Structure 1
Amino acid sequence: MSKHTVMMKHVLGALALTALPAMAQMDHGDMQMQGGQPPADARDPHAYSGGFTLDEGPYALPGPRQLTLADEHWFYGVLADRLERVDNGDDQALAYELEAWAGLDYDRAVVRAEGDIEQGRLAEASTELLWRHALTAFWNRELGVRYDTGHGPDQGWLAAGVSGLAPYWLELDATAYLGDDGQTALALEAEYELLLTQRLVLQPAIELTAYGSNDAERGQGRGLSDLVAGARLRYEFSRQFAPYVGWEWQAALGDRADQLREEDEATQENRWVAGVRFWF
């Protein structure tokens, strides 16, 4: 070892001994680990611009505005989450669940439609027109109207709810309704996508519906009324197109089950489904 190297080791050792008392006296109480709560304005596109805009500041371009940021563009999408053939052992039907939306990052207009087609006729249908507003990075607020046809007299509703992505990638949707004659309803839905491979996806889902009062004519029972649970296994030829097969169990609960028993109808039903899921 050279004399120069030995001298450098002594110098560095002395500096370290000098710095140790100061380091021991440092207050680490205000130090935080990486992560934690994001700032309240984390989703605000103007929060970190330093006061500059496209119209003012040293980077503003002369004449009419020439740039449009991503959060100022209009986007749209159409999702056919379910387009399937349903077989319960006795009868067969076609079922659909569609959603279309258009708007900006924070505010969008949404149309949701679902229903059943039996023997070439629309047997039951529900259509919603909603305004969706982003509350946080993963949650939305929804307000709008809904219109049901097919089971008893037609019925209109006012709708208010939240939807979003919970921890562990669980998709949740909760909507409260106020309908004709003061009827109320609550619909809860949860689903999860389990990637068995990059193309083979298992999607279990569960849906609960509750009503504020009995309406046998429309098939509504007070309290928890309907439960639907099942799973669909799809193969994604592309992210936009995937055929699937699945199984679903539907059960009537509480007062709704009593109504069906009085009509000598089954309170539970098993159904096999096969269909296609696509979006663009």
Structure 2
Amino acid sequence: MRIIKSCTYTVLSLALASVTQMTMAQDAHHSMSTSAQHESHSSHDPSYQEMKTAIESSQIEHTAEHAEHAEHAEHANASSIASRAASAQHPVDHKREHGGQIYQATEIDSRWLNNADGRGRLKTEIESRIGTDENKLFIKLHADKAESQDADYAAQVMYSRMISDFWDAQIGARYRVDEHQVTDKEQLDAVVGLHGLAPYFFETDAYLYLGADKQVSFSLETERDLLLTQKLILKPYLNLDVVLSDDSAYAQKTGLSSVWLGLETRYEINKKLMPFIDVAYSYEKGNQHTARQAETGSEKQWWYGAGVRLKF
């Protein structure tokens, strides 16, 4: 009985395994058949063919575009290398485009002033410069003639070198003639100073003069334009001289020697022609007593007048 049960269990197991294998084979065959039918149907579908063709064309165009970009990049790289090599062999000078050009400018300032006593005075200043932004030659001419008196003249020639964005260092010589003196009418002084734009746009000239007979003096000129309109302009200005040392026969008193503080109002007809009126207050300390001259006292007075400025 036990043997019969064992045989029956074995037969049932074999039968179940056979049925399972047959089912799996039928499923695989059905899947393959379905896939083949789907492939066959898709291959005969026009929209499927158009999509496939579009995809292939897009892939071909993309490949061609990549090739073109690679060729262009290679050509640009070669051009860049060639340009750098040419620049290294033949550097380009851009100084003319960036302040390296030579220019010339001249300004003539002439004014007639009267004081409260009705005495007149003619003051003329000529300034000319030529060179580049970095290196320039400055020429300054000055003439001062009081009414019924001989004129005093001074000529100043300086080399100017830019030391910062707003300042030039200058060095040179000054030649001056004083007709009031009997002897030593002509004097030659060494000059060193600064020319530039002080804070708050004050155009400034500061010079130290060294001459014979221990003549050492300092001068300062500063001014600023205040625009009322594009053509009507106020210009306050300050000119002062300080005598540090003087052992000459016509020595001036040491200390603050002279001051001119004024207000100029000008009308710019154009950038070359500018008439103006001027009001100024002056202080002059006078000369000290020497074997050649008597001591003189200080003078304070107001001046009124008009003038014209030319630029070219």
Name the TM-score, length of structure 1 as normaliser.
0.70
Residue from 254, 258, 270 that aligns with 1:222: 254
User: Which residue identity lines up with residue 97 of structure 1 in the other structure?
Assistant: E
Structure 2 equivalent of residue 108 of structure 1: 136
1:269–1:217 Cα change, 3 Å: farther
Q: 1:79 aligns with which of 107, 110, 118?
A: 107
In structure 2, what is the equivalent of residue 175 of structure 1? 207
Question: Does the residue aligned with 1:269 lie in a helix, a strand or coil?
Answer: strand
Counterpart contact for 2:215–2:248, Cα < 8 Å: no
Question: Is the Cα–Cα contact under 8 Å of residues 214 and 248 in structure 2 kept in the other structure?
Answer: no
Q: 1:196 aligns with which of 213, 228, 245?
A: 228
Distance 1:219 1:247 in 2: 30
Pick from 262, 267, 270 the counterpart of residue 299 of structure 2: 267
Give the structure with the larger strand fraction.
Answer: 1
Aligned equivalents of 1:119, 1:252: Cα separation in 2: 17
1:132 paired with 2:160, answer: yes
Asked if the contact 2:156/2:174 (under 8 Å) is kept, the reply is yes
Question: What does residue range 33-52 of structure 1 map to in structure 2 within 5 Å?
Answer: none
Q: What is aligned with 1:155?
A: 187
CA distance in 2 between counterparts of 1:68 and 1:227 reads 42
Instruction: Specify the code of the residue in structure 2 equivalent to 1:208.
Output: L
Per-residue CA deviation, residues 24-50 of structure 1 (Å, 9 max, x unaligned), is xxxxxxxxxxxxxxxxxxxxxxxxxxx
Shift of 1:172: 1.7
Q: Secondary structure at the match of 2:213?
A: helix
In the TM superposition, what is the alpha-carbon distance from 1:239 to its structure 2 partner?
2.1
Distance 1:67 1:108, change over 3 A: closer
Q: Secondary structure at the match of 2:99?
A: helix
Q: CA RMSD in A?
A: 2.9
- Name the structure with the higher helix share: 2
- What residue identity is the alignment partner of 1:244? F
The TM-score normalised by the length of structure 2 is 0.63
Pair 1:56 & 2:84 matched: no
Tell me the equivalent position of 2:11: none
2: CA distance between counterparts of 1:212 and 1:100?
29
Deviations 1:119-164 (A, max 9, x none): 6975111110000111111111010000111242221110000121
Quick check: 2:142–2:155 contact (8 Å CA) kept in 1? yes
Q: CA deviation at 1:177?
A: 0.9
Superimposed CA distance per residue, residues 210-254 of structure 1 (whole angstroms, 9 cap, x where no aligned partner)? 11234585462211111111111000111221100011111123x
> Whose radius of gyration is greater, 1 or 2?
2
1:209 to 2:237 alignment: no
Amino acid paired to 1:242: M
Distance 1:215 1:96, change over 3 A: farther
Q: CA deviation at 1:179?
A: 0.6
172-181 or 207-216, which moves further after superposition? 207-216
SS in 2 for 1:56: helix
Separation in 1, partners of 2:147, 2:220: 30
Separation in structure 2 between the aligned mates of residue 218 and residue 123 of structure 1, nearest angstrom: 17
Q: Which moved more, 1:205-214 or 1:223-232?
A: 205-214
Q: Residues 266 and 105 from structure 1, CA distance in 2 versus in 1: closer, same or farther, beyond 3 angstroms? A: closer
Deviation at 1:171, TM superposition (A): 1.4
Q: Is the 8 A contact 1:106 1:133 kept in 2?
A: yes
Aligned length: 220
Q: What is the CA–CA distance in structure 2 between the aligned matches of 1:268 and 1:135, rounded to whole Å?
A: 38
Distance verdict in 2 for CA 1:66–1:168, change over 3 Å: closer
Q: 2-side partners of 1:219 and 1:276: how far apart?
A: 34
Q: Structure 1 residue 111: deviation in Å?
A: 0.4
CA distance in 1, matches of 2:149, 2:131: 33
Instruction: Specify the code of the residue in structure 1 equivalent to 2:119.
Output: D
- Distance in 1, Cα, partners of 2:139 & 2:300: 30
Structure 1 gap segments, 5+ residues each: 1-51
CA 138–171 in structure 1, closer or farther in 2 if over 3 Å, else same:
same
Tell me the percent identity: 26
Cα distance, 1:267 vs. partner?
A: 1.2
Q: How far apart, CA to CA, are the structure 2 residues paired with 1:216 and 1:59?
A: 60
8 Å CA contact 2:215, 2:245 repeated in 1? yes
